[in-house]
Amino acid sequence: MPQASQAQLDPSGAPAKSPMTFALGEFWKSFRKNKPAIAGTIIVLLFIFFAIFAGFLAPQGINDQNIRLKLQPPSAAHWFGTDDFGRDILSRILFGARLSLRVGFLSVIGSIVVGTLLGIIAGYFGKALDVIISRFFDILLAFPSILLSIAIVAILGPSLNNALVAIAIVNVPVFGRLVRSRVLTVKEEEYVMAARSIGMGDARIIFQHILPNSIAPIIVQGTLNIATAILDAAGLGFLGMGAQAPLPEWGKMLSDSREYIQTAPWTVLFPGLAIVLVVVGFNLIGDGLRDALDPRMKN
Amino acid sequence: MFYYSIKRLLMLIPVLLGMTLIVFAIIHAIPGNPALTILGTKATPEAIHSLNRSLGLDNPWYIQYFSYLKDILSGDLGTSIQTHTPIASEIWPHLAATIELSFIAMIIAVFVGINAGIISAWKQNTVLDYTAMILALIGVSMPVFWLGLLEQWGFSIKLQWLPSIGRDDIRNSVDPITNLYLLDTLLQGRFDQFWMVLRHLILPSIALATIPTAIIARMTRSSMLEVLKSDYIRTAKAKGQKMVWIVYKYALKNAFIPILTVIGLQTGLLLGGAILTETIFGWPGVGLYIYNAIQYRDYPVIQSGILVIAFIFVMVNFVVDLLYGLFDPRIKYR
């Protein structure tokens, strides 16, 4: 127990730190120095706050229509103006944060779970399974992601949930390949060989050694992928293949407002700005996490 | 090099076959009977049965797949439900429009992206560097369709500088030869039309180029930063060579491999982004072709459109793979 004895000998008398706490401490020290990453964290936390408390923050309901007030420019009563049904755009954007963040987080979690599973099977067990899974990844990656998502939504039917599933499927190979390459590296490490030589089973080796050593790149890629998932969901919504009316999904809001761009440009401006801001936030966090968790990936 | 090319080409076969299988599976998984879609809801069961038989839809899936594969290999991409025209004959003008748009977008992305990345690395930690990287960050975070709408609002509606829709003016339309309008107008010596086509290209190609430009700029910066620290660059500086010369002649060549990879990968993004850009700008490319097919549930067109775009993406990456050796002779082909 070298760590315990070191801690006991610690002249400062501080309580013993586990390796995990130590790693988290190191990570936080590096992450908090990264100003853009902190800015990104603040932006994302703000949007999460909007999403959770939209019911309290929104001045109006998402479907409160008032035709007499349609296409009103931004004013004290309607900070972001109103749309063609006289609905308050700010309220719809605040509620829309729920939809976009839900698609971003859930689709990436789905891709990570399936991708990690396939990546581990391919990398750890190798042979024919590796060939089959790797070729499957190659084939999926041969399609531009938005086109494959469109094709999948065509099967499932256009809806926000189906767009979420499509985006998750399209991103599976991204995580699958990443995990596979980590597994190939880690399984040749001496400590894994040692674990195997003392009779440790495959499942224990995978969960105790291989997975923990693959988490850093997965977190980095996951954060960056939330950004692209939000963009893809907005794109699908814009094409009518994602969220359906009257859901206040930002891409759908843009597509519904595009014919009013000449007379009411604010209907297009604010939903787009919301998308850009939240995506910038996740990209900044992703870059910061990469620098803090995996300095080798920095450049 | 020759053997490597052949080997790489052979390795493409399973990927291309897999692509056809996936597209085939997706279209067959779509709920609803294609015969019913073609004949309409008033069709009698006998008519549906007879069309099912003539389309081969009553065969097992693997027979249908092999027949589909045979058709593709003989250049038959199916028939559009909407226009009743063979897709192979009607897709080319759309494909040419997409190729022209993507090509110009890629030129913009490569030119602006590489130069922005170089300046950023060269002037590291200066205002120039920060500005370029903030712009690149916004660029990768920008929805293409939003930028397209803003461009239309600013440059077409407000300033009225550039056209917002289509490839040419209805009253001065181009006589297609190759359907690549820039080339066609040059071949015909119609420089007035060349200028008109170019003006139509500006807004959509800038919108389409945004994300690739930003990604290429970020990649070039990090790649250049690494190369600029190397010994041979320090030696060149010590010998008093001009910095512009060092950066563009020596450093860029060595930083180019990762940039080239990114350029290859961005082709997919460009071709995928085309569906959004073309929808906004009424650009009659494959993207708009697929978008209209989606609205009409014209599945053969969706199927073939996606397949053709994926095929181009795979081939571009194949060419990029072969180009590595040209830019870096240290790479040995085995």
> What pLDDT, in 10s, does the model give residues B78-121?
888 888 899 999 999 999 999 999 999 999 999 999 999 999 99
Interface A-B, measured as beta-carbon pairs within 8 A, has a size of 135
pLDDT, residue B330, reads 65
Q: Is the pLDDT of residue B50 over 80?
A: yes
Q: Band of the pLDDT at B300, cuts 50, 70, 90?
A: confident
Amino acid at position B84, single letter: H
Q: Is the pLDDT of residue A295 over 50?
A: yes
Q: Band of the pLDDT at B289, cuts 50, 70, 90?
A: very high
Taking the domains of chain A in order of start, what are their residue ranges? 32-56+90-297
Cross-chain residue pair B140–A268, CB shorter than 8 Å: no
- Condensed to tens digits (0 to 9), the pLDDT of residues A135-191 reads 889 888 888 888 889 888 888 888 999 999 999 999 999 999 999 988 888 888 888
3-state secondary structure of B55: helix
Structure tokens at A160: 């926000």
In chain B, what percentage of residues exceed pLDDT 90?
37
pLDDT, residue A61, reads 82
Q: Please list every residue in chain A whose beta carbon sits closer than 8 Å to the beta carbon of residue B291.
A: 239
Q: Band of the pLDDT at A1, cuts 50, 70, 90?
A: very low
Q: By C-alpha distance, which of B156, B135, B282, B269 is closest to B208?
A: B269
Q: Find the closest chain A residue to B281 by CA distance.
A: A258
Q: Band of the pLDDT at B233, cuts 50, 70, 90?
A: confident
CB nearest to B18's CB, from A135, A227, A284: A135
Q: Is the pLDDT of residue B268 over 80?
A: no
Residue B216 and residue B266 in contact, taking contact as beta carbons nearer than 8 Å: yes
Cross-chain residue pair B22–A154, CB shorter than 8 Å: no
Residue A219: count of CB within 10 angstroms of its CB: 17
Of the spans A158-172, B28-42, B269-283, which averages the highest pLDDT?
A: A158-172
Structure tokens at B279: 């929808």
pLDDT, residue B111, reads 92
Higher pLDDT, B55 or B210: B210
Compute the average pLDDT of residues A214-242: 90
Bridge-partner residues for A82, per DSSP? Answer: A88
pLDDT, residue B329, reads 65
Measured distance CA(B231)–CA(B229) in Å, rounded: 7
Nearest-5° Cα angle at B269, B268 to B273? 120
CA distance B120 to chain A (A): 14
**Is any Cβ of chain B less than 8 angstroms from the Cβ of A140?**
yes
Q: Band of the pLDDT at A283, cuts 50, 70, 90?
A: very high
Q: Band of the pLDDT at B328, cuts 50, 70, 90?
A: low
| Fold of the domain built from segment(s) B91-327 | MetI-like fold (1.10.3720)
Give chain A's mean pLDDT.
Answer: 86
CA distance B159 to chain A (A): 12
Query: Which residues are CB-neighbours of A267 under 8 A, at least 6 positions away?
Result: A71, A81, A83, A84, A89, A253, A257, A260, A261
Residue B239: count of CB within 10 angstroms of its CB: 8
Higher pLDDT, B303 or B138: B138
pLDDT, residue A7, reads 40
Compute the average pLDDT of residues A60-65: 83
Measured distance CA(A279)–CA(B64) in Å, rounded: 43
Q: Is the pLDDT of residue A294 over 70?
A: no
Q: Please list every residue in chain A whose beta carbon sits closer than 8 Å to the beta carbon of residue B22.
A: 139-140, 143
**Is any Cβ of chain B less than 8 angstroms from the Cβ of A86?**
no
Q: Is the pLDDT of residue B170 over 50?
A: yes
pLDDT, residue A3, reads 42
Q: Is the pLDDT of residue B77 over 80?
A: yes
Q: Band of the pLDDT at A21, cuts 50, 70, 90?
A: low
Measured distance CA(B250)–CA(A124) in Å, rounded: 42
Q: Band of the pLDDT at A10, cuts 50, 70, 90?
A: very low
Q: Is the pLDDT of residue A23 over 80?
A: no
Structure tokens at B149: 């709408």
- Stretch(es) of chain B classified as CATH 1.10.3720.10: 91-327
3-state secondary structure of B56: coil
Measured distance CA(B236)–CA(B39) in Å, rounded: 73
Compute the average pLDDT of residues A85-101: 93
Q: Band of the pLDDT at B325, cuts 50, 70, 90?
A: low
CA distance B136 to chain A (A): 10
Residue with tokens 């065969």: B59
- Condensed to tens digits (0 to 9), the pLDDT of residues A248-271 reads 999 999 999 988 988 999 999 999
Cross-chain residue pair A280–B150, CB shorter than 8 Å: no
Q: Band of the pLDDT at A199, cuts 50, 70, 90?
A: confident
Structure tokens at A38: 């902190």
Q: Is the pLDDT of residue B56 over 90?
A: no
| Residue range A32-56+90-297, CATH number | 1.10.3720.10
Residue A220 and residue A297 in contact, taking contact as beta carbons nearer than 8 Å: yes
Higher pLDDT, B181 or B318: B181
Tell me: ipTM over 0.90.
no
pLDDT, residue A211, reads 86
Give chain B's mean pLDDT.
Answer: 86
